[in-house]
Amino acid sequence: MCGIVGYIGKRDAAPILMEGLRRLEYRGYDSAGIAVAHMGELRLAKCKGRVRELEKRLPSRFKGAPGIAHTRWATHGEPSDKNAHPHCDATNRIAVIHNGIIENAAALRARLESAGVAFRSETDSEVLAHLIAAMPEHSLDAAVRAALRLVTGTYGLAVLDAARPEAIVAARNGSPVVLGIGEREMFVASDPAALVRHTRSVVYLDDGEVALVRADGFETATLDGGPTAKTPSTINFTSEAFDKGEYAHFMRKEIAEQPEAVGRTLSGRLEPRFQTTHLGGIELAAHELLDIRRVKILGCGSAYIAGCIGAHLIEQLARLPAHAEPASEFRYRNPVIERDTLYLAVSQSGETFDTLAAVQEVKRKGGRVLGIVNVVGSTIARECGRGIYLHAGPEIAVVSTKTFTCTAVALALLAIQLGRIRDLSTADGGRLLAGLAALPEQIDGIVAREPEIARLAEQLVACEHAYFVGRSAGYAVAMEGALKLKEVSYLHAEAYSAAELKHGPLALISPETPTVVVIPRDDLYQKNISTIAEIRARRGPVVAVTHAGEMPAPVDAMFDVPASEPEFDPILLNIPLQLLAYHVALKKGCDIDKPRNLAKSVTVE
Ligand code: G6P
């Protein structure tokens, strides 16, 4: 969602900040802005729309440093020029960029207005600029700390004072802030993507920390001013990971990266000696794993759906009741937390607000929760303290592809480990390990058949509606297939459990509404064949995604995936659906990497 970039050093800030904003575009936003300090004065430009609009509006001589810049995703106040960040105090000296939500903004605003402050926007963030300006403290960091002591809510923020250009100040509470350490220059960002071009040495702020950032270094403190100690860490990926390279879209690049990404998720976690898996990061001893009676998986969007595949695997392989639920629902229904349930929070970004809130609810009630997260050091990863990192590499496209697959693989690893200390035999363990190890090559083989899938996409591109159906684990694949198509191509796609078709949706089957039927090689194969017959009897076109071999029922189009261990069918069956969504969107000319109204990580409620 919102993005932050800051720079302090000898160079002109604007080119660095604009490049940083472009790198944050993938997160989703609706307006952008920049402020730099120049000869004691603040220079400011901001507007609704894309970063390229902002670029057009920048005066040709937009010189100065330090500087801060922002991409906004509207929460309080519509997307507009005036609501875009940075926000300034009345004297246009202090500029603030803010991610998160100030919960007591209305009260603070009323207080400032009664003291004569005139507001220029409808945002909650503007109160921060006026509040900081009103503080009597003479150093900027002390003023920011004093102001933040009056604030309740979440923030990642950066503050610039044109009259005191020797430092910028950053602070974090619930919304990520990372400092980048350069050669006599420093960077601030909400996401390492914005600074990997310049440095790989970074420091992540913790909640409640405020950083004073100078060109030659930084100091951190709590809101009360007590110094905190930080150790820099190294970002372990290069800036190429954030470039499209030879691909037209990040989504397509990330689909192609899946074999290596899955390889990294598996790396070091297979234990062929005992035909099991080993997940060191979960920090649970065998006897603790044995005490687990139930597994509950929480996540949002594709993370939730990957959780559905995982729940199915855990139930199958470990014979433990397992269930996935949208984190947003879970957190608000006063959930019953059980001592012998293992809670899993699934999140690519590790920043999704609802998932974080669900983790906090579990912890508050004494439950045990592990994170299944891609971004190392992210909020959910830290809040959980232990779990499984996906190691999928950065995912830039708003829609999730490689991290969906890697999440399902991570949950498969856990299912095997839980299974092998229960009733899963060594023979089955060995079979499943071999199945997992074969996945990267099989995925590669599917991606190589892209032209076939592009032809399939022609069946869908002219339609207004499409159904995706499946049963059991195949139903989760149908859900993800429909979600992906909806997200990137704006085609109305709905997923149903195949058996539910005749309880309603069948009324809408017609020659204009194709159905994608997901058919794993499981016990329900014959039932899925009957579903095809039901649809075709209503003259509905059928696209079957299944395995090679004769289809005992006629279909209009088919794509087959290689045979894997049947437990992993859902993982492979999903890959062609990713490419299907991509090609429908491509043919429709959609903004594939940045679908309208969507954000990569939803850090607000
Ligand atoms: C947003 C994204 C989805 C993603 C979901 C959860 O809705 O658009 O692609 O699946 O958030 O994100 P997370 O980072 O928690 O996996």
pLDDT value at position 45?
Answer: 96
363-396 per-position pLDDT tens digit = 999 999 999 999 988 889 989 999 999 999 999 9
- Tell whether the model's pLDDT for residue 604 goes beyond 90: no
* 240 pLDDT more than 90: no
pLDDT at 60: 83
In whole angstroms, give the CA distance from residue 480 to residue 404: 9
Read off the tokens for 439: 């996945």
Tokens of 195: 């600074």
Does the pLDDT of residue 550 top 80, yes or no?
no
Q: Is 604 in the pocket of ligand 1 (CB under 6 A)?
A: no
Interatomic CA distance for residues 257 and 444, integer angstroms: 9
Range 390-415 average pLDDT: 96
85-99: per-residue pLDDT in tens? 999 999 999 999 999
What average pLDDT is seen over the chain? 94
Counting residues of the chain whose pLDDT is more than 70, the rounded percentage is: 100
pLDDT, greater one: 273 or 237 = 273
pLDDT at 603 over 80: no
Q: Give tens-digit pLDDT for 115-133.
A: 999 999 999 999 999 999 9
What is the whole-number distance in angstroms between the Cα of residue 350 and the centre of ligand 1?
Answer: 9
pLDDT of 40 > 80? The answer is yes
Q: Is the peptide bond before 86 cis (omega within 30 degrees of 0)?
A: yes
Residue nearest to atom 2 of ligand 1 (CA): 600
Q: What is the pLDDT of residues 148-207, one digit of tens each?
A: 999 999 899 999 999 999 999 999 998 889 999 999 999 999 988 899 889 999 999 999
Cα-based distances in Å from 311 to 185, 261, 483? 47, 21, 19
DSSP 163-229: T-TT-EEEEEEBS--EEEE-SS-EEEESSGGGTTTT-SEEEEPPTTEEEEEETTEEEEEETT--EE-
Phi-psi region of 12 (alpha: psi -120 to 50; beta: other; left: phi over 0): beta
Is the CB of 479 within 6 Å of ligand 1? no
Which H helix or E strand runs over 387?
A: strand 387-389
**CA-299 nearest atom, ligand 1:** 15
Give the DSSP H or E segment for 361.
helix 353-364
Query: How far is it between the farthest Cα atoms of the chain?
Result: 80
Catalytic residue ranges: 2, 600
Which pair of structure tokens corresponds to residue 457? 């996409």
- Cα 448 from chain centroid (whole Å): 26
- Spatial contact of 378 and 276, defined as CB atoms under 8 Å apart: no
What's the pLDDT score for residue 221? 97
Query: Does 439 score more than 90 pLDDT?
Result: yes
352 CB near ligand 1 (under 6 Å) = yes
Q: How far, in Å, is the centroid of ligand 1 from the Cα of 74?
A: 17
